[in-house]
Amino acid sequence: MSRIGKKPIPVPAGVTITVEGHTVRVKGPRGELTRELRPEIEVTLADGVITMARSSEEKQHRAYHGLTRALVANMVQGVTAGYRKALDIVGVGYRAEKKGETLVLTVGYSHQVVYPQPAGITITAPTPTSVVIEGIDKEKVGQVAAEIRAVRKPEPYKGKGIRYSGEQVRRKAGKAGAK
C-alpha cells in the first residue's frame, strides 16, 4: 500500500470539494482549482475527509496512487494558505523592478529582460534584489520561479545571478596563479 496514498486529506473549514467522475474541484477562500485525475484512482469524499483508492496493484497504479493524493493535498493547501517562492538577485548592478503587470530584470545583459506576469500568479519585487512569486497553484508558482531563475542562473565563480532564497551555490576556486 502506498504510504502517501493511503493518508486521508482533512478538508479544512471554508473549503468545498466536489468530485464528479475523475474531476476534482476545490474551492476555498483564496480561489478555485480544478484538476482531471487518472481513471485508475478512485477519489471519495466522506465526513470531511478525502481518501484515495487504486483499482489494482500494478506498479503504475501504485505510483499514481501517491501522486494523486499529493496533487489533491496541494490543491487544498493552495486554496487555504497559497504558495510562495522567493528569489534573490546577486551581482553588482543586478536588479528587478515591477512595472505594471511585468517584471523587468537587469541582470548583466545588453538589454533588460521583461517577464510578463501570468494569470493566477502575483509577482512582487519588495527590494531591487529580491522577487516574490505567490499563487494558489503549486505547479505554476514553481514553474514561474524556475523560468525567472533561468534568465540568469547563479554562476560558480562569483556567485552572480538569480537564485532561490536559501539556495547554496557551490563556488569554484578559479585560476590558481600561473607562473
Amino acid identity at 65: H
Q: How many helices (H) and strands (E) does the chain have?
A: 2, 13
What pLDDT sits at residue 167? 93
What pLDDT sits at residue 179? 54
pLDDT band at 177 (very low <50, low <70, confident <90, very high): low
pLDDT tens-digit readout, 35-91: 999 999 999 999 889 999 988 889 999 999 999 999 999 999 999 999 999 999 999
H helices of the chain, in order, are 59-80, 138-150
CATH 3.90.930.12 domain extents, the chain = 9-80, 83-164
What the block records as the C-alpha cell of 99 is: 512595472
pLDDT band at 178 (very low <50, low <70, confident <90, very high): low
What pLDDT sits at residue 55? 87
pLDDT tens-digit readout, 105-151: 999 999 999 999 999 999 999 999 999 999 999 999 999 999 999 99
pLDDT tens-digit readout, 152-171: 999 999 999 999 999 999 99
What pLDDT sits at residue 2? 63
Looking at CATH, the fold of the domain delimited by 83-164 is given as Outer Surface Protein A; domain 3 (3.90.930)
Asked if 75 and 24 touch (Cβ cutoff 8 Å), the reply is yes
Residue with cell 474541484: 25
The widest CA-to-CA distance across the chain, in whole angstroms, is: 76
Query: Which of these, 150, 133, 153, lies nearest to 90 by C-alpha position?
Result: 153
Q: What CATH architecture does domain 9-80 belong to?
A: Alpha-Beta Complex (3.90)
Asked if 70 and 77 touch (Cβ cutoff 8 Å), the reply is no
